[in-house]
């Protein structure tokens, strides 16, 4: 008996990126690497993550090409984890999620972390601009055209398809705006749903058809995103109870992260065919690549140019001394 063919869906760099980053623990491990941690035990102490879970996520990040292992610089048989060029290039994506979390999940205490851009010596906030005219990107000013890599591909299979039943685990080790962002949009289905709304697909049946999501999962993610005030529902059609879904102000502000994922996926996962999508800036009529820059000086953001210090909302439960010792001073 022949195996049924897998359904095909439109190729998309966001989908490919989320294939790697769909697990919040993986992204939080990357976060700790940017803060200077290198060893298995240091990750485990700081994140309070089960050792088996940590081992599994590190193996996945190594297999994906984001990390590499090197001998400890202190000698001996111990190994350290370090970024490959591919992994380090995800830094702008992390900063867009941090900025969104600072804006939309903030507490009375304030931002947990203060970032300073060494190039301009000012506090750094990530902003996405166009490569064509340097304008801050607004989702209403972008249209989408087929790129050289347009086509169909099977929806990738993830090892884990359910949203975490304990999302508070991601913020338990310490206050962090990235972790708060991942609590709201940190699984692949949620972000693929958000992607469809940015593409202008607002009706339940069309969204379900485009991404092949089981109806119970789609209904669950819609409810969760409504609860987080990322999307809102409205009826359409006279005398009907049919709903369509639109992004709220906070949902639209996720566009920076959406574009950062496109840029990274186009660079590292598109292969020889090229990008599946071409972005056109309506105001100047030119094709562009998204660029994540420092809002103050408009220069591209790279990890080595960033300094960190605890903000007013800094609150660490595990591994505080370890973190402060490894953070790059401002």
- List pLDDT tens digits, range 153-181: 876 654 444 455 566 777 778 889 998 99
What is the per-residue pLDDT for 284? 96
Helix ranges (DSSP H) in the chain = 13-21, 24-34, 40-47, 51-63, 85-88, 91-104, 177-185, 188-198, 204-211, 215-227, 249-252, 255-268, 320-326
Q: What confidence tier does 1 reach under pLDDT thresholds 50, 70, 90? A: low
Classify residue 13 by burial, with Cβ atoms within 10 Å: 0-12, 13-18, 19+.
Answer: buried
The alpha carbon dihedral of 125, 144, 190, 274 has a sign of negative
* Alpha carbon 240 to its chain's center: 36
What is the per-residue pLDDT for 186? 64
Span 196-225, average pLDDT? 92
Q: pTM (2 decimals)?
A: 0.91
What is the per-residue pLDDT for 160? 47
Span 224-246, average pLDDT? 89
What is the per-residue pLDDT for 162? 47
> How far is the C-alpha of 311 from the C-alpha of 308, rounded, in Å?
9
Joined tokens for residue 158: 């993830």
What is the per-residue pLDDT for 164? 55
Q: Looking at per-residue confidence, does 162 or 65 come out higher? A: 65
Q: Looking at per-residue confidence, does 107 or 113 come out higher? A: 113
H or E, element range at 82: strand 79-83
* Alpha carbon 141 to its chain's center: 22
What is the per-residue pLDDT for 5? 61
Joined tokens for residue 2: 């022949």
Joined tokens for residue 316: 């660490």
The alpha carbon dihedral of 259, 139, 104, 310 has a sign of positive
Q: What is the pLDDT of residues 108-141, one digit of tens each?
A: 889 999 999 999 999 999 999 999 999 999 999 9
Span 50-58, average pLDDT? 94
CB 22 within 8 A of CB 187: yes
Span 313-328, average pLDDT? 84
The alpha carbon dihedral of 110, 115, 117, 118 has a sign of positive
Q: Looking at per-residue confidence, does 66 or 179 come out higher? A: 66
Q: Which residues of 76-102 are buried (b: 16+ CB within 10 A; e: fewer)?
A: eeeebbebeebbbbbbbbbbbbbbbbb
CB 66 within 8 A of CB 29: no
- Which percentage of the chain shows pLDDT scores above 90? 65
CB 99 within 8 A of CB 256: yes
**Other Cβ atoms closer than 10 A to 39:** 15
Joined tokens for residue 306: 């960033």
Q: Write the DSSP symbol of residue 12.
A: -
* pLDDT at 32 exceeding the cut of 70: yes
Q: What confidence tier does 313 reach under pLDDT thresholds 50, 70, 90? A: very high
Span 267-283, average pLDDT? 95
Helix 215-227 to helix 188-198 angle (10° resolution) is: 80
CB 137 within 8 A of CB 292: no
* pLDDT at 231 exceeding the cut of 90: yes
What is the per-residue pLDDT for 175? 87
> How far is the C-alpha of 197 from the C-alpha of 221, rounded, in Å?
13
Cα-based torsion angle of the residue sequence 297, 302, 305, 308 in order, rounded to the nearest 10 degrees: 100
Joined tokens for residue 295: 């809002």
Mean pLDDT in the chain?
Answer: 89
> How far is the C-alpha of 138 from the C-alpha of 128, rounded, in Å?
9
């Amino acid at each position: 008996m022949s195996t049924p063919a897998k359904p095909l869906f439109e190729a998309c760099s966001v989908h490919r990126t989320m294939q790697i980053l769909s697990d919040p623990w993986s992204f939080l491990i990357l976060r700790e690497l940017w803060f200077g941690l290198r060893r298995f035990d240091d990750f485990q102490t700081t994140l309070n993550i089960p050792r088996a879970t940590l081992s599994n996520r590190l193996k996945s990040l190594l297999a994906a090409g984001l990390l590499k292992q090197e001998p400890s610089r202190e000698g001996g048989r111990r190994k350290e984890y370090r970024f490959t060029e591919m992994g380090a290039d995800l830094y702008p994506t992390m900063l867009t999620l941090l900025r969104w979390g600072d804006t939309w999940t903030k507490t009375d205490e304030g931002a947990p972390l203060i970032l300073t851009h060494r190039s301009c010596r000012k506090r750094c906030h990530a902003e996405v601009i166009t490569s064509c005219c340097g304008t801050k990107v607004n989702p209403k000013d972008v249209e989408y055209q087929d790129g050289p890599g347009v086509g169909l591909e099977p929806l990738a299979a993830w090892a884990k398809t359910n949203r975490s039943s304990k999302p508070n685990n991601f913020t338990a080790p310490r206050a962090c705006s990235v972790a708060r962002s991942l609590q709201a949009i940190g699984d692949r289905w949620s972000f693929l749903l958000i992607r469809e709304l940015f593409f202008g697909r607002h009706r339940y049946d069309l969204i379900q058809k485009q991404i092949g999501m089981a109806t119970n999962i789609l209904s669950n993610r819609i409810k969760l995103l409504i609860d987080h005030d990322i999307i809102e529902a409205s009826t359409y059609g006279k005398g009907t109870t049919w709903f369509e879904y639109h992004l709220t102000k906070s949902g639209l502000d996720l566009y920076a992260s959406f574009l950062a994922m496109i840029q990274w996926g186009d660079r590292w996962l598109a292969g020889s065919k090229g990008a599946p999508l071409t972005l056109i800036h309506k105001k100047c009529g030119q094709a562009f690549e998204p660029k994540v820059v420092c809002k103050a000086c408009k220069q591209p953001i790279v990890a080595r140019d960033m300094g960190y210090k605890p903000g007013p909302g800094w609150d660490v439960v595990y591994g505080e001394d370890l973190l402060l010792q490894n953070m790059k001073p401002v």
